[in-house]
Structure 1
Amino acid sequence: MAVPYPQVVLFGDSLFQGAAKTADGFSFQGALQDQCMRRFDVVNRGFSGYNTSNALKALPQIFAMPTEGGPKLRYLFILLGANDASLKRSVDNQHVPRPKFKENLTRIITHPNITAHKPKIFLITPPPLDEMRMKVVDLENGYHDVSRKAKISASYSEAVREVAAENPGVTLIDLWKALMAAAIEKTPGFDPAVAVLGDPESEVRGYLEQLLPDGLHMSAEAYRIFYDMVQPHLGSEWADTREEDKVGYLLPDWRDAPWLEEGIQS
C-alpha cells in the first residue's frame, strides 16, 4: 500500500494562490515544502477571488473525510477576508458583511470534514491594505472608485482575531500587524499614533509600497515576513532531536532502508 503523506494545507484566496510563485528568488510555498520535505506534503488550495462564502460552499470538494490509506490533514492555515472586506458592488460583488464573515470563518474551522482530521488550525489576518495604491489600480481597471478601504479591511483583520480568540485550540497569526510594523520601521519619520500607512488620511504609503505593490497582494519580501511567522509552528515533531534530519521521515534514509539488507541495489 502506498504511504499517504500527511498534509499541510494553505486554504484561502489569491494571497495563498500567489504563495506558490517564485519572485525575487523566494517562494512561500516552496520554503514551507523544503522545511517539511519527506514528512508532509504542502498543498495549496488558494483560490483567487474567493470570499468565505465561496470557500465554505467549496469546502466539501476540497477536504474529504479521513479514510484508511488516505492523507491526513495535520496543519491547516486559513487566510481569507481580503475579498470579504471589499466594498459592496452591483457587479463583481465579493463583499461579505462582517458578522457573516465571522460566522463563515467559524463554520469553516468547525466543519466536520475539517475537525474529523483533528488538525492544528491557524487563522491568519489579511494583510494591511494600501488604499492609496489600490485606488490607482482600480481606476486603471475601469472602476469608478476604490474597491476597498484601509479602515474596513483592518476591521476584518480584527474580526479574524476575534474568531481565533473565540475558538480554543485555534492559533492566530497576525499578518496585518507584522507587515504594518515592518512598513512603519522602514518609513522614517512616520508616526503611527497619528495615522495609518496607506490610508488617504495619512497621505503616506511609506514602505507599504514595497510590501504591497498593487495595494493588496504581497511582494516576495512580504511573503518572507509571513514565512518567518509560520516557520516556528512547523517541525515540533522532529526539532531538537539528535537526528533532526531523519526524524519524521515516512520513508527511511537510504542508509537505513530495509531493502539494503535484501541486497537490492540500484
Structure 2
Amino acid sequence: MALVFDKIILFGDSITQLAYNQEFGFCFGPAMQDGKVILAYLNLEGRKQSHPFAVYNRRLDVVQRGFGGYTSNHGAIIVDRLIEQESTGASKIKLLVVFFGTNDSIVPESASNNSVPVERYQDNLRKIISAAQKVGAKVVLIGPGPFNHQQFDDALGHQFEVDRTTHRAREYCDATVDVGNELGIPTVPMWHLVMEEIGWREGDPIYGLPELPAVNPLNDYLTFLETVAEKLSITGLHFSGRAYKILFTNVLKAIKESYPELDPDNIPEHLPTWEQLTTSLDVLKKAIE
C-alpha cells in the first residue's frame, strides 16, 4: 500500500505561528504531533509504571500555517489556495483548526486599520469552514483569549495607544461560538477557558481592564516576558505554555467528542512497531506493498 500521511492543519495568526516556539515551555503544535500523555499500566510484576504515548505521531502530520498579524479577512482570501496546496498528491487534510479573531477584534479606530466588524468576521469563518468541508475536512474553531491592558501597555513602553480591549476579545470569542453552534462545528472558547482557569466567574470584575488595579490574578497568566514558560501570555495578548496547554487539552477534547474517527486512539499507526520487526523484516516489506 502507499505510505501516505494525511494531515491536520493549524490555520491562524501569530498565536498559531508561535505554537511551536520552545521558549514558551509547553508547545501546542509539537504536543499535537507528539504530546506525551502519561498512561498508567501494569507490568508483569503488577507494579504501576508510566508509559509515554504519542498523540498524532505516526498517525497524522500536524502542519502549522500561522501568519502573524493576520485577520480572518486574510484567512478567507488565502484559504482556498492553502487547501489546494496542502491537498496535492495522495495526502488529504483531515482536520482544519481555525484560530483567527485576535486581530479582528482590534478597535475600529485603530491606526493599524486591521479591525474587522464582527459580522464580517463571522462571514469569513463561514467561508473558511466551507472551503475545508469541500475537500472533506473536519473543522475545529478557536475563539480569541482574554486581553490584559496593563501588560500590553507595558510591552509597548507606554508610548502608543492600546488598540485592544478584553471586552472586544470576549465579543469575538462569543461570535466564534455562535458560528460553531450555527454550523455544528466544535469551538474552543479561549476567553472563557482562560478566565475560568484563574477563578473568574460571571459578575466578577473582568481582569485586564485599564481601570482595574494593575496587579490582578490575570497577571499570573498574561504576563510580559518574565518566566514566560509559567505564564499564559508574553504581551498580555499572546499565549505561553500554560495557555497553550489549555488550548491543547480542549482541542483534543473537541476532536474526541465531535469527531471520534479522528481521535488518535482510533487511528492506527503507520508501519509496524519495532517489536513486530524483531523477528523478520518481511513484516515491514509487506506493510508497504
User: Normalising to structure 2: TM-score of the pair?
Assistant: 0.76
Is 1:72 aligned with 2:92?
yes
**Counterpart among 236, 246, 258 of residue 215 in structure 1:** 236
Match of 2:205 in 1: 195
Q: Deviations over 1:173-221 (max 9, x none)?
A: 1211110011236xxxxx7524101112433552322322211011211
Partner of 1:154: 170
Structure with a larger share of its residues in helix? 2
Among 126, 131, 152, which residue is 1:134 paired with?
Answer: 152
1 CA distance for matches of 2:11 and 2:20?
A: 12
TM-aligned CA deviation for residue 79 of structure 1: 0.8
Structure 2, unpaired ranges of 5+: 35-54, 224-234
For residue 100 of structure 1, report the CA deviation from its aligned partner.
0.8
- Relative to structure 1, is the Cα distance of residues 101 and 225 closer, same or farther in structure 2, using a 3 angstrom cutoff? same
Post-superposition offset of 1:118: 1.7
The one-letter code of the counterpart of 2:217 is: Y
How far apart, in 2, do the equivalents of 1:263 and 1:196 lie?
57
Q: 1:184: which partner in 2?
A: 199
Cα distance change on mapping 1:135 and 1:120 into 2, 3 Å: same
**1:33-112, aligned counterparts within 5 Å?**
33-34=33-34, 35-64=55-84, 69-89=89-109, 91-111=111-131
Q: 1:172 aligns with which of 180, 184, 187?
A: 187
Label 1:108 to 1:138 Cα distance change in 2 as closer, same or farther (>3 A): same
Retained in 2: the 8 A contact 1:197–1:204?
Answer: no
Q: Percent identity?
A: 28
Q: CA deviation at 1:263?
A: 10
Unaligned runs of 5+ in 1: 186-190
Contact 1:11/1:77 (<8 A) preserved: yes
Quote the Cα distance in structure 2 between the aligned partners of 1:24 and 1:45. Answer: 19
Larger CA deviation: 153-162 vs 57-66: 57-66
